[in-house]
Structure 1
Amino acid sequence: MEKFSLLLVSVLFFVQLFHGGTARTLRKQDASEDWGYVEVRPKAHMFWWLYRSPYRVEDPSKPWPIILWLQGGPGASGVGIGNFEEVGPLDTNLKPRNSTWLRKADLLFVDNPVGTGYSFVEDTKLFVKTDKEAAADLTTLLIKIFNKDVNLQKSPLYIVAESYGGKYAVTLALSAVKAIEEGRLKLKLGGVALGDSWISPEDYVFSWGPLLKDLSRLDNNGLQKSNSLAEKIKQQLVAGQFVDATNSWSELESVISSSSNNVDFYNFLEDAGSDSVISLMAMELGQSKVTSLKRYSRYLSSLRPTPGGDGDIDTLLNGVIKKKLKIIPDNVTWGGQSDSVFTNLEGDFMIPRINEVDELLAKGVNVTIYNGQVDLICSTKGTQAWVEKLKWEGLQSFLTKDRTPLYCGTDKTTTKGFFKSYKNLQFYWILGAGHFVPVNQPCIALNMVGAITKSPATST
């Protein structure tokens, strides 16, 4: 990991400008990293960052994979959070991460949609309003990055998503498949992995009350309030009142918090704001629906300043990292437009994407679903509910298969999870993990991603 250690400012770069001013790319001198902007639409600029793995294994029978990580929110930064908080080479104190997913693949982080993280729009009318608009921008970015690089085209791309990123992932995958078939995009799509993903909001909100009641976190009064609001959301979705459904979701989260004495939506065994490893600290997401939107966008304990280090991710990304990258405009603040990203997507926020998962399965695309056991916001109970709604022809065979227990390392006595697979659908149950599986169970997550990507790297 030495090449990734702390050469964050005093490092040499070359600059490549593409004709037409649509993209600008910088590369670290040792070629271990590339990053840049793609103008996905006029005045709409998307930032990306690619790490090449120092653990790369050349195996013609198993090409070295690339993982595209998509963060949730909407408005949460993959370049910031997924990279420094979860699976990238360095943590928020700029120390090497032993469990980095670079051990299994190259990593491509994108600040998606435009307005997220370092990505920005020059005109507020250019924020996306739907997941499919976000997918179109991401497809444009992939075309710009992959079509000019023959080496990248040799590696299968796996789209791995977390939280709301799952909705981006399935819409992007369908858009990418179409672009590949039409010859507009030159890449191999290896598959899609949906981690604790907001695929069916209705199923999740209906899971919260019963789950918390069984855990003694709600009583009958709290359950009745929760179920009543969940039913209201269902009726609003049926009526096409999608913004109203988002408002009711916000109201339901507040009711759940009040009735449970502030259960942590990302680990139902904890209180929100506790000192657990995944207690979540604030990132601002606008002034409307303040409590729920902030709660939904809180990410990981390392957002807090850490003694002796730059644990504050906002300070890190707007400080030393911005200086390293060199191409972030002076007037762009990391996360400065995130509130607008969420606001503009609130009409799409509660719309399910089960049909898109069905389409991917029908096309033969490998789809992996993984869920943390103690997540609430995207509970395993809710995930299993939407999976059972799939129309995929292999569903019944998948459901009747037995699960295989999972372990890590040499310890074969402690169950870390379960796994089930049939044809091109895989499901991982990750024990002891909340919403942020790579943080809570790094060993099992690393093994899992190695299996998903068929990485030639040796298992941990």
Structure 2
Amino acid sequence: MEKSFAWFAVSVLCLVPLFHGGIAIAASTQDGTEEWGYVEVRPKAHMFWWLYRSPYRVEDPSKPWPIILWLQGGPGASGVGMGNFEEVGPLDTYLKPRNTTWLKKADLLFVDNPVGTGYSFVEDKELFVKTDEDAATDLTTLLEEIFNRNESLQKSPLFIVAESYGGKFAVTVGLSALKAIEDGKLKLKLGGVALGDSWISPEDFVFSWGPLLKDVSRLDNNGLQKANSLAQKIKQEISEGKFVDATNSWEALENLISSSSNFVDFYNFLLDSGMDPVSSLTANDMSKGLARRRYSRYISSLRSTPDGDGDLNTLMNGVIKKKLQIIPQNVTWGGQSDNVFTELEGDFMRARIDGVDELLAKGVNVTVYNGQLDLICSTKGTEAWVEKLKWDGLQAYLSKDRSPLYCGNDSITRGFTRSYKNFHFYWILGAGHLVPADQPCIALNMIGDITNSPA
């Protein structure tokens, strides 16, 4: 896995006619271990992808080598940037090999989804997606362009693994991909969907914040009462279909929580905002009502040093952009991400529990995993929406005992898991919102189990 700096300089470019019209731009390293490119998913709407072939691949006829499609949250956060260099890719933000890369268990496909995220871009601001379903349609188009041309990829099961708001995308694209497969438009095997700290039911999460923070002494009874009152308002707005109003009230609730808790970190409730090395949003910023920007700011200055070394934004707009060669000069990584969030504000507070139910009913393997210390997508809120599933196996699942999780020869409890039929849940101890970054060892073991990897 040691890579020299020359890795960033060598690539081969090609132009590929699209099934849907237009031209796709693609490139690869000379040894074929990496491929990347753009797909014009709609006229003037360009989506960027990056595929890594695993050097740890094991050929086992009984266990096909899997591919993981990683979807980031936000909406507007870049999987090509954050998921890749901060969490599970082969290199970290200092371009050093990651010992716990998920390439040890699968090939990795990162996509900047929806258009406008990361290196993906639109030429007309009217082309940003307005709903999760629109995003799923675009992403399914990209999958058709990548998989339908490549028989080797078609032999590997695809696992859609998501984090945060990416979980909503994973549910909708999972259903969209299934339909395309059934209609003969998409040639791939869907292995499963994994939802990590995912924003599946906003209502359940906002109701979890007050009680959770009261239990860990970050709120008092006054703060709890105010938080619950605003959560009730959000519930009413959601029930009336006033989703933009609910998004505005969500922002107000986050600011209330921040001020009442002396600025607890929404991604690790044991910390103050700004203490986490991957968080740059200060208390002063939040007091100015910038809750909507918290996630994008959270990922925009990751583990930076005074000279900029290790800063994700500097990396992606510098050496990585130069390596990739095909990023248009006028495209800045993350330059349109705020627009992505704004355009989706009408769908932001809409639940996707029914989509999870539909996946389960279709026999798709669904895994939910959650970091113990996450607040924004708390385990308490996740358990609440899981109990609302209409899946016929729910009661049997809930009645089962959990099994403890360990790492290697470690005797320390790292988490718990429970499974029944095609539904699986992982509780990851000591992790906040970004499970693979906070607990890389147990996350690697978990993804090996999820994908049934032969490695």
Whether TM exceeds 0.5 here: the answer is yes
| Aligned position for 1:379 | 378
Match of 1:442 in 2: 440
Task: Measure, in 2, the Cα distance between the counterparts of 1:297 and 1:145.
Answer: 28
Shift of 1:295: 1.7
Question: Unmatched 5+ residue regions in structure 2?
Answer: none
Structure-1 separation of matches of 2:166 and 2:60: 31
**SS of equivalent residue, structure 1 residue 297:** helix
Which residue of 2 is the match for residue 36 of structure 1? 37
Matched, 1:156 2:157: yes
Contact 2:68 2:158 in 1 (8 A): yes
| 8 Å CA contact retained: 2:274, 2:281 | no
How high is the sequence identity, in percent, across the aligned residues?
75
- Tell me, yes or no, if the aligned pair for 1:49 and 1:110 is still in contact at 8 Å: yes
User: How far apart in 1 are the matches of 2:336 and 2:301?
Assistant: 22
Matched-pair contact (CA < 8 Å) for 1:8–1:321: no
CA drift at 1:5 = 4.5
SS of the residue 1:132 aligns to? helix
Other-structure match for 1:180: 181
* Kept in 1: contact 2:301–2:313 (CA 8 A): no
* CA deviation profile, 1:116-165 (whole Å, cap 9, x unmatched): 00000011110000000000000000000000000000000000000000
Matched residue SS, 1:244: helix
> What is aligned with 1:407?
406
1:209-220 → structure 2 map (5 Å cutoff): 209-220=210-221
Residues of 2 paired with 1:21 and 1:240: CA distance?
38
Match of 2:394 in 1: 395
Please identify, of 382-391 and 308-317, the stretch whose mean Cα deviation from structure 2 is larger.
308-317
Q: Greater shift after overlay, 303-312 or 162-171?
A: 303-312
Q: CA separation of 1:113/1:300 partners in 2, compared to 1, >3 Å: closer, same or farther?
A: closer
Question: Match for residue 105 of structure 1?
Answer: 106
Counterpart contact for 2:36–2:48, Cα < 8 Å: yes
Give the 5 Å matches for 1:312-331. Answer: 312-331=311-330
Q: What's the secondary structure of 1:409's corresponding residue?
A: coil
Give the TM-score, by structure 1 length: 0.95
Equivalent of residue 422 in structure 2, options 421, 424, 432 = 424
CA drift of 1:15 comes to 2.2
Aligned to 1:202: 203
Is the alpha carbon distance of 1:106 and 1:313 closer, same or farther for their aligned partners in structure 2, counting shifts above 3 Å?
same
Distance in 1 of aligned mates of 2:346 and 2:6: 43
> What are the equivalent positions in structure 2 for 1:221-260 lying under 5 Å apart?
221-260=222-261
Quote the offset at 1:11 in angstroms: 1.5
Give the equivalent residue in structure 2 for 1:46.
47
Provide the secondary structure at the position in 2 that maps to 1:29. Answer: coil
Secondary structure at 1:76 match in 2:
coil
Q: How many residues align?
A: 451
Q: Distance in 1 between matches of 2:439 and 2:8?
A: 31
Separation in structure 2 between the aligned mates of residue 155 and residue 308 of structure 1, nearest angstrom: 42
What secondary structure, in the 3-state scheme, does the structure 2 residue paired with 1:444 have?
helix
Please, which runs of 5 or more residues in structure 1 have no aligned partner?
A: none
Cα separation, partners in 2 of 1:456 and 1:5, compared to 1, 3 Å: farther
**Which residue in 2 is equivalent to 1:310?**
309
Question: RMSD across aligned C-alpha pairs, in angstroms?
Answer: 1.8
1:453 is aligned to 451
Matched, 1:62 2:63: yes
| Aligned amino acid, residue 104 of structure 1 | K
Q: How far, CA to CA, are the matches of 2:358 and 2:8 in structure 1? A: 45
Counterpart residue number, 2:335:
336
Q: Conserved in 2, the CA contact under 8 Å of 1:281 and 1:304? A: no
TM-score normalised by L of structure 2: 0.96
- Matching residue's letter, 1:441: Q
- Aligned-partner residue type, residue 202 of structure 1: E
Kindly provide the amino acid, as one letter, of the partner of residue 345 in structure 1.
Answer: L
Q: 2 CA distance for matches of 1:108 and 1:7?
A: 22
